[in-house]
A and B are shown apart, each in its own frame.
Chain A
């Protein structure tokens, strides 16, 4: 009842305040795009305080990356732990927060939470297909306070193609090495007040890894989306309603099993026999209804959304002794091959299962999620006490749920094949976590001459419920309520039309999941940033220093990072992350026919624990004051150079990512072990036949350099091998 009251009150306030409407020049559809795509593109100099980065359609089209990781490397302050090489299940963090399954950043598609169950199970096992993404935005610092529930790091908003105002469409076909195939196309139009868009994409590959004994290690992903719009605008208000429907699926022969370091050196693309049955199979549906109403004084955007996600993730979990009892975890076997020589040979299929070298356990982490809600956001521009105020107020009622039906089957390695041992399937985790959450935020930007001061606060009111649904476990449940107010303060001072300085401070928060006892504290931090930016339309430069003072980190164990599935959460001691983010870009005009755009993104991060503590979390261990946080590279650099002529273009991206620690403290398996530093160059070229379309050629990882990008979940994982593509795109 409280939830309904709060949303209703905001709606009433909105309709009663605005009585003298003035119609804007932009169409309702244009206005809607602005509200979906959060950073305004019109201003040359952004006046947001905080690192807000926008990558538009044109920039994405240069490389047509299917892998979000490759896109995000161009944004400073992003830390990534690569896993499968294709970016199927990315691990993204901002400003030193853990990248594990992107669980500490707020991920949105078209402005709504897109994770399978962002509150109840924040690990982002579903990630929107990059091929259909039209642009993306990354928010860090105080600008992230608007997008919860995760405010420690920031938010990533991926936007899909808007409904075109006139007939428009394209078809993009591509083939490449490793059996790569892509078919991508869209078409849309607006007739009078009605507009529509249909977009579909299919991307597949046989994979770049080589399974012992042969087999497909690739993936097949599909996405189809439709949007329908109707413009109800009158002389007084712009008003539009849009329905978006999307279906996506993926089957990928992926695994968590990596290699020993020695085997990696011989062939980084090898995959052991024991992973031959591993497979991820998911489907995702989304429906979203958006309503926009507004004029020059105010606008309100309301979205109702429902997402359903089902996945079956069948993969090797470990080894078990016949008759019960435990054996070393896979990670231990791969980290200490000499010690576990026989077990390793078993994984490779070199010896058969016997009394002593045991059963191979494959688990199906079968999960069903939904995420639904309604959110409304008001922009209101007014003058109070002689000062210009821009209010931005929003509320969201969100519900999500995860149902786990995890099972395990045991197999014998027989003549290099996994053969069922005939023992009945065992249920492992059978439970449910769900959350009802109300969020509100209020931001007021007060403008005085060249100074914009923004005061904001976000409230999160979370009711969480956990129930163990295994037989005779009715009494294993928990209800938990968490409330928090997260304030922010930021300022932007415009030094000239092209330059300004900014400062911000805000409170970061990561809620704990419903299953965790209340003794596990949510993550809480105070984040500071200070920066300056310059943009004259041809040259841009932005530098930001940041400092995150973290009260305690929260980490969750899953198969992907701990190699176990108890979803247990851990708290750390105090930690801090300090760093510098730098972006620069300039377009050199060589002559009337050639441009030479150059851009650079650099990040320096120093992330460390400020107190000593002992933890059972496998990435921490016995931590001393000053120990580095895991998976946080100290230096990252991306350099992009291109030549753009009227009918052709060539672009190259070079990236350097420092080595990263696999664990912070002493006494855990990967203590003192680091990933390799990574230097990668990607290349793309295109030639336009004008109205007959464009052909393009791309090479990812031109020099075919492969390094160990992580040793989790189980053993060393390679970055993607060289992959070449050729494609043709026709646009109308």
Chain B
């Protein structure tokens, strides 16, 4: 019996010890390119660089002021669009002149041009909240290249009647390509009062008088401008919250496993210059790499901003935003990081190349669409200059800083 008890106690003891004492152990070694291997943050080599400082400077001194400026422009735009629509309505009641309407419209158009100019800079700053839920916030402000003038025509009428499929009209629930700056461009700059739908026009549209059509469109423009202003408020407030997380990168609860991962989110955003500016804004209308609406040749109708004719200005703004992120504005930027990693050459070459591309784009005497029609070599040259920047971005920049390419840049058209 003694043996029995001893054995039982021994068995239980062993088991209890195992339960409390057994741990798992894992060890690994990985190749130099293994995706998720921990990256050692770059040390401060005495020039004041560290990744934390880079994150803070880009978040506080480059991106936050851009978003704040856009919000101010969105407020001004809302006021200008309201004023224009009041004039359009007054004209119908014979309480305003056509000149008054035209002046107010021009002011509204200028306010849109100012706002989208800033937003084209913000396009390069799509980090955190702007990307959440499939870039819902970004698309609500500007969904290009997903745009639908026909969809906007439909929503003009939905808004006029106040209902969509029996439910009260609520712009925040509408498809992104029926709201935002792209919809507002169509409403403010398009002079053709016929429906743009290739199929049937929205019900009741063709029965409206020209004056009624203008008022219907401007009333909807007021709603769109208000929605853009509300979205701009959200951008500013959500960026403030996200900045706090970025600055805690590497700490528990930040959502970033390291500062390097947070830095990588900024570099991901800079790839807009590659996937959108270079490919969609330039290569696609040029007919390079894929067929466009005209086949495989220069195609003016495929440019961005075809009503306001601001395409080349958008490209300039994209490049300038890229340069601001690269240099860090007046503070620490990616060029400092490159220097810190001993790659002064890449820093110099990228700054020089982006400057060349900006200068070249500023030299346009015509719109991008006109250039495509009459001087496509100039557009091909701009594409080549932007490509020079993005080629460097995809190779030496990424490699020197041990950053990863965003998924959308893998297997692209280059």
Contact = CB atoms under 8 A, between A and B. Distances in A.
Contacts of A426: 411
Interface in A649-704: 669
Given A489-B12, A489-B19, A519-B38, A324 B275 contact: yes
Interface string A366-403: 00000000000000000011110000000000000000
Scoring B133, B136, B257 by chain A CB atoms within 10 A of each residue's CB, the highest score goes to B133
Contacts of B34: 466, 475-478, 517
Nearest to A526: B19
B37 A321 contact: no
Interface stretch (B22-30, B63-71, B94-102, B207-215): B22-30
A486 B33 contact: no
A324 B11 contact: no
A444 interface: yes
Assign chain B's interface to a size class: 35 or more
Given A481-B28, A487-B19, A324 B174 contact: no
Interface stretch (A169-177, A184-192, A338-346, A578-586): A338-346
Interface in B268-316: 275-276, 279-280, 283-284, 289-290, 292-293, 302
Assign chain A's interface to a size class: 35 or more
Interface string A405-434: 000000000000000000100111000000
B190 interface: no
A329 B134 CA distance: 7
Contacts of A338: 173-175
A361 to B, nearest CB: 12
A342 B22 contact: no
B330 interface: no
A468 interface: yes
B280 A332 contact: no
A183 B31 CA distance: 52
Given A444-B11, A479-B28, A483-B24, A669 B146 contact: no
Given A475-B31, A478-B29, A507-B19, A342 B175 contact: yes
B147 interface: yes
Contact of B26 (A328, A427, A481, A486): A481
A477 B135 CA distance: 32
B8 A453 contact: yes
A480 B290 CA distance: 43
A356 B146 contact: yes
A484 interface: yes
Interface in A443-492: 444, 446, 448, 453, 455, 457, 466, 468, 473-489
A446 B8 contact: yes
Nearest to A444: B11
B19 A323 contact: no
B11 A476 contact: no
Given A323-B413, A356-B177, A518 B26 contact: yes
Contact of B14 (A455, A468, A475): A455
Contacts of B110: none
B145 A321 contact: yes
B290 A332 contact: no
Given A322-B290, A339-B174, A342-B177, A484 B22 contact: yes
B19 A325 contact: no
Contact of B148 (A329, A356, A488, A526): A356
A446 B293 CA distance: 80
A327 B146 contact: yes
Q: Interface residues of B: mostly helix, strand, loop or mixed? A: mixed
Contacts of B32: 475
B411 A427 contact: yes
A156 to B, nearest CB: 24
Interface in B359-414: 408, 411-413
B7 interface: yes
B151 interface: yes
B39 to A, nearest CB: 11
Contacts of B284: 322-323
A509 interface: yes
A327 B139 CA distance: 10
Scoring B33, B134, B145, B302 by chain A CB atoms within 10 A of each residue's CB, the highest score goes to B134
A477 B37 CA distance: 10
A497 interface: no
Given A355-B145, A355-B293, A325 B28 contact: no
Interface in B170-224: 173-177
B4 interface: yes
A355 B302 CA distance: 9
A326 B280 CA distance: 12
A524 interface: yes
B253 interface: yes
B22 A485 contact: yes
B255 interface: yes
Contacts of B29: 478-479
Contacts of B253: 614
A332 B36 contact: no
A164 interface: no
B145 A446 contact: no
A505 interface: yes
B35 interface: yes
B18 interface: yes
B33 A476 contact: yes
B240 interface: no
Nearest to B25: A483
A457 B14 CA distance: 10
Interface in A308-329: 321-329
B398 to A, nearest CB: 13
A727 interface: no
A340 B24 contact: no
Contacts of A486: 22
B408 A326 contact: yes
- CB-based closest 8 A-B pairs: A487-B18, A475-B33, A385-B3, A489-B15, A480-B28, A477-B31, A328-B134, A476-B33
30 contacts: A324-B412, A325-B279, A327-B146, A328-B134, A356-B146, A356-B148, A356-B177, A357-B146, A384-B7, A387-B7, A446-B8, A446-B11, A448-B4, A453-B12, A457-B18, A468-B35, A476-B31, A476-B34, A479-B29, A480-B26, A485-B18, A487-B19, A488-B15, A489-B12, A517-B28, A517-B30, A517-B35, A518-B28, A519-B36, A521-B26
Given A342-B177, A385-B3, A387-B3, 19 more contacts: A324-B276, A324-B408, A338-B174, A339-B136, A340-B175, A357-B146, A386-B4, A387-B4, A423-B290, A448-B8, A468-B33, A475-B34, A482-B25, A484-B23, A509-B24, A517-B30, A519-B36, A521-B26, A669-B133
Interface of B: 3-4, 6-8, 11-12, 14-16, 18-19, 22-38, 133-136, 145-148, 151, 173-177, 253, 255, 257, 275-276, 279-280, 283-284, 289-290, 292-293, 302, 408, 411-413
Interface of A: 321-329, 332, 338-342, 355-358, 384-387, 423, 426-428, 444, 446, 448, 453, 455, 457, 466, 468, 473-489, 505, 507, 509, 512, 516-519, 521-522, 524, 526, 614, 616, 669
